[in-house]
Each structure stands twice: as C-alpha cells, then as structure tokens.
Structure 1
C-alpha cells in the first residue's frame, strides 16, 4: 500500500539522516520487529532496555511510510471524547485509557532526554468549539477531563478571542501536550545500540509462518529471519496481514507554510484543534512555520486520495487565514497520508488468538505516537512475562 504522497515536510527538511543495509543473510533472534517507523522504533527501544535481543526489518527505506507523513502532535486526547468513551466502555476504563496517553507524553519526554534527542517540545493544547451546537457536549468533556485528574480550564468565547485572537464558541485549554518530529524521533531511536541489535530496510517480508515454538519470516529475496517472537509494527498495512475488521482507513491532508521571518503566531504556540468532523488542527514548527491538517476523506485508493492534494491545500490554507488573517498563510509543502480509526478510538495492542508468538502494536487514530509508546510498554511486559493489567483495554475481540 502507498501510504503517502506529496512533499512531507519532515522528509524535505531532514532528508535521509542515516542509512541501513538490506537483509542479505539468514538470521536468528529472540524477537523480530516488522516495521521500523515510530511504532517499531519505540518497541525496539523498550525491548533493548529490557535486555531482549531483537532484529528490526522494514520493507521501505526507514521512515518513508506513515511516519514521514505524521504531523507529530502529542496529545492525551483520543479521537473519541472522554465523556463519550465513558458511555462506551465505562468510566474506569475510559479514564485509564486517557491517563495512559497523558503518561505516554511525559515518558516520551523522558526518553528523549535520556537518549539525547532534541525533537520534543512541551506545549499546551486548545480544543475549541467550531459550532455553537458543540458547546454543550464540549462542556461535558471539560467536566469529564477534570474529574479524570487532567489540568484543564474552560475558556469563554471572549477569552479565546482576547488570548488567542480568533473567534470560537468556547474552548478547553489543556496544560498537557507536546509536539515532535516523528520522522527524526524514529531515526534517532533506531540509532540506539544499532550495532548490537540489527536493523534492515528495503527488505520486504513476503511470507510469515507462526508455529508453537516461534515465527519464521521470509523476504522477497529468499532470506529468513527465525525468531521466538514477532512484533507487528506495520500500522495501517495490518490489513495485509490479518483479516479482522478492526480499522476504517481514511485519507488526511497536511500543509506547511512558508517560513516566517519572525514568530508572531498565537499565544504560547499552543496546539489548536476543533470539534468539527473531520477536525482541523494547527501547530507551529521550530523553524518559524505553521502546520495545518485535516479535511479528511474516506480512503478508497491512493490515486483518488492523491488527486485531491491541490484542492485540499487551498482549503486548508483558507482555514488558517480565516482564523488568523494576519498570518497571510502561504503553503510551501503539502502532502496526504492514509490513517485509520477504530470504533472506540483505541488502538489494538497485544497477542492475536490465531497467530501464536505474534504481538501487535497498532496505534490507530490521531494520537498514534502516544499509542505506540503504550504498545511498546505492554508488549515488552508480555514478552518478558510480566503482568500488565492494561492489556485488556486494547485487546483483539474487545
């Protein structure tokens, strides 16, 4: 599957920072990780920290799948609002899912500091009502988050206008959020002990056999990886490996502005998103640009998705200029990518009943990076046979 098209900003800005070899021999390992995007990189980091030998393999050049197309907002919010998720799975589980995402942001910051990675910025997040009819449920959401222990503040329309400079019908200001560059974050994490724990790219796996004692992967060139355990970190391409109807594929669009001479965006450069469906979201970049995304469509095929890039670019640029006319937003890079959503907004993490010795790290939704961190922790616990009570939240067949 072609996961993206256009000119993803991170790929243009950072190019190919590191190179990796193709698999050119048969190998054996404790754990094989299929996929070397941000999900695979985080799983690999956690396994190494736990003392587990692992080998990572990717069909593409590292990072050129969904990771390079990520807009890299880090939020504890799940695509399904907390008050609604509570109705679906109960208050205890809903709050736990949100709290895990909040903890994931803080843990990602700790990892970047420990490894010496610069691609992490703490931020606040502003979630505003796009329509007057959304105010009632957004206030319910505010109360649900406050009861769950999050530091949030309700802002009336005039407060949003005074502090952030645009019209709305009210908003939730959250203290906990961050932003990153998922492409470079993945690359830097993969440099961690890469000589001891091998990484291979441009090595498509064409056959996987699960058995009671392990898993055997065969590449298109005929080489094999024999592992005791296999972690699927393949994201939206999971539809190529399992038949479960667990995800609806969507196409999303993103645009980055030309570089501004001075930073004159909005207060605190908060992450901004709204209650529209699909929702609009904005963030800034360290080099004085504005990134806007949204205008999602149902995914049918890559050709139809890609034809809409120019049209969506104009729409998103207009969206920014309506909110912030003073920015005179001018697009420079735009792209589209495929992503997935689930019925409850939660990822699928853990073992699959029909695939022995296989584990899945499928961080679907708008906050896939935080889900990837959660998946890395849970899968590491499962492989090392440690108890993890959160696995039930994200299991297949829930």
Structure 2
C-alpha cells in the first residue's frame, strides 16, 4: 500500500505497533495464487458469472502486476514464477472439470489434466487437476521489507505506535495514538490484517488460524516443475517448495483457535496431521520436519477481500479479509485504493465493498463434501 501511494507522490506515514513484517507476514507461506479461496463456479453461484469473472481476472492481473513490480524494483526476495496445481480431492474429477469449463469460458490461463496426465507429468496420484500459469512464490519477509524500503526511499515515514482512535468529522482525519499524541491526515487507510479497529463494522469477515511445516532439505526428492499445489475443497491443504530444497506444507485451518497460546497448544496435533497429509500427497518428501509455525489471518464468507471506504467515516478506507490470497489481494487493494484516492473508480469497489450484502444462499456447495 505504501509503495503504491508513494508512487503517486503522496506524503505517507506508516503507523505500525509492531516491527514491520513480524506479524502475520512472517507466518505466510507466500504462495502467490490468483485463484481465490472460492472457485469460480461457486462465485458464479453466489453472484453471477460476469461478477465472478471480473474478480478472477482482477486477481490474475494483480498476481502478474506484483511479479512485475518486484522485478522492476529488483527486490531480492527469492520470487520465482510458478505453475499452480488445483487437485481433485476424491475419486472423481467432476468438480475440477466443472471449474475448468467456467475458466475456459472466461479465457483464464488454465488446463485440465486427467489422472494419467497428472501422474505422468507431476507424479501425483489424484483423479485430476487444473494446471495454471502466472503464480509465484517468494520469501514474504524479504518481499515486505523490500517494498517498505522503496517507500521509505521515496520519503515515507515509519512510526512505531498504536493507533486507538479515529475522528473524521472535520475536513481531515485525526488519528489518536495510545501515547496521547495524534496525527492529522487527508486520508487514512486501515490495512491492519485480521485485527481491525472497531469503526470497521463488517460482518463478512472471520479470523482463522493455519499451520505449516517445512521439511529438511531434500532437493532431489521434489515433485517435477515444483508447482504450487492446493486442493479443490473449502479447507484445503497447500504445498510449495523452497529454493534450498525443502517442502512447505500447510493447512488444518481452524476458525475456533485464534489466541496464540491456544494455537501453540494445538500445534503438535496439527503437525502430526500435516505430516500424514504430506506423506499421502508426496511420499518422497523428507519425513523430518525442520520448522513448524502457525499464524492467524482473516477470511470472508464469499472468499473475496473487503476493500474500500469505511461506511460512516469520511476519508477513511480499509483493506482486509484476504484469506489465502494475502499477498495477491494486498496488491489489488493498493491499486484500487490508489485509484480511488486519485478521484477514479472501479466496478470492483462495489463488488468488494465493506458493507456489501452476501447472497442469502451461502450454504456449502458440493466442493465441500
């Protein structure tokens, strides 16, 4: 966000109560996918085909834009263009075939692989998969710090403080800090992750926790082409490789365990489950786990982010609810809010509005069976 706003020539003050990159960022597995947590066919059921395609195309554009941005600035964050594999979870490829049909109709860069094609090319035994280009992976901490450095070099200021109050009654917004001081600004953007101020009254978001493991280095035992892997189900597992030959495998998401102490208590059982799931997916992976971690993130009921003006508060904007697409959606949010602050608009701002109404029929679809 700061990079986008300083690119516009704006004076930017970044307020962070923690050291930058040491919150949920450090827990990210940095799988930069453009497919959202909700498959295209589910979004089309929730809204309509045109609106669903608009969101998917915007996410695809954001993923490509982020890769170009990192390349343009020469940020050393181990970013690697990747393919992505969206795996069937049962013995039938029907659901991924249905998804492929809609993606083809939308002209999105995806191929369908049947069981034999998937096994021959990637060595993975599932009923089928969708293979997509334009994904990427990276080191999330180096990426964050690299973008922050670009912003600071342009004149942005970083303030370690805790913002506790917001007053937008006047022509400017006053941000009250915990230490008693205050800052006045023409506009305020809230990009605080899953811990949003009380003035943001959205009911569409829900925090959840996710766990991940990283294996010992075993560079000769990785799957072909080292594609990013995730599954065609609501609570999916996900996998990627690292440049030094590890497998990162995550999932076991839980919206009932948010507190750090509770997450720590649940970690041994979650790690055992992840090891079993990884062995079933890729038996050649190292059975030795070198690192384990967990983190909290924000989800929404429709799998789309919340981006736009905070209702009832003039000149205060917010961006959150990124789900499993945190890095990709943060780029999208920066582009949309940058456009909005420059006097422009986008149809996406209506689709992603903080006070949008979700369709009443939000029951689990067949993809969750």
Q: TM-score when scaled to structure 2?
A: 0.92
1:341-356 map, 5 Å: 341-356=299-314
Q: State the 1:240 CA deviation.
A: 4.4
The match for 2:159 among 200, 207, 214 is 200
1:282 alignment partner, SS class: strand
Q: State the 1:137 CA deviation.
A: 2.0
1:140 alignment partner, SS class: helix
Measured against aligned partners, the alpha-carbon deviations of 1:75-108 in whole angstroms (never above 9, x if no partner) come to 1111111011011111111101001111111111
2: distance between equivalents of 1:116 and 1:316?
A: 35
Matched, 1:44 2:15: no
Matched, 1:128 2:87: yes
1:310-349 map, 5 Å: 310-349=268-307
Name the counterpart of 1:116: 74
Q: Is the 8 A contact 1:82 1:98 kept in 2?
A: yes
2:277 alignment partner, SS class: helix
1:236 alignment partner, SS class: coil
2: distance between equivalents of 1:244 and 1:344?
A: 13
2: distance between equivalents of 1:104 and 1:139?
A: 25
Q: State the 1:328 CA deviation.
A: 2.8
Q: State the 1:390 CA deviation.
A: 2.2
1:237 alignment partner, SS class: coil
The match for 1:371 among 326, 329, 339 is 329
Matched, 1:258 2:258: no
Name the counterpart of 1:273: 230
Name the counterpart of 1:29: none
Q: Which ranges of structure 2 fall in alignment gaps of 5 or more residues? A: 357-369
Q: Is the 8 A contact 1:131 1:276 kept in 2?
A: no
2:38 alignment partner, SS class: coil
Q: Is the 8 A contact 1:129 1:169 kept in 2?
A: yes
Measured against aligned partners, the alpha-carbon deviations of 1:191-229 in whole angstroms (never above 9, x if no partner) come to 11415211122x111222222312111222222211110
The match for 1:222 among 180, 190, 199 is 180
Q: Which ranges of structure 1 fall in alignment gaps of 5 or more residues? A: 1-42
2: distance between equivalents of 1:183 and 1:357?
A: 30
Q: Is the 8 A contact 1:317 1:330 kept in 2?
A: no
1:1-398 map, 5 Å: 43-119=1-77, 120-133=79-92, 135-195=93-153, 196-201=155-160, 203-238=161-196, 240-260=198-218, 262-302=219-259, 303-398=261-356
2: distance between equivalents of 1:127 and 1:193?
A: 35
Aligned residues: 353
Higher relative contact order (CA 8 A, sep 6+): 1
2: distance between equivalents of 1:97 and 1:206?
A: 33
What is the CA RMSD across the aligned residues, in angstroms? 1.5
Name the counterpart of 1:27: none
Q: Is the 8 A contact 1:75 1:105 kept in 2?
A: yes
Q: State the 1:330 CA deviation.
A: 1.4
Measured against aligned partners, the alpha-carbon deviations of 1:136-188 in whole angstroms (never above 9, x if no partner) come to 22211011111111122111112222222222111111122111222211111
Q: State the 1:327 CA deviation.
A: 2.0
Q: State the 1:323 CA deviation.
A: 2.0
2: distance between equivalents of 1:299 and 1:364?
A: 18
2: distance between equivalents of 1:258 and 1:200?
A: 38
2: distance between equivalents of 1:300 and 1:356?
A: 34
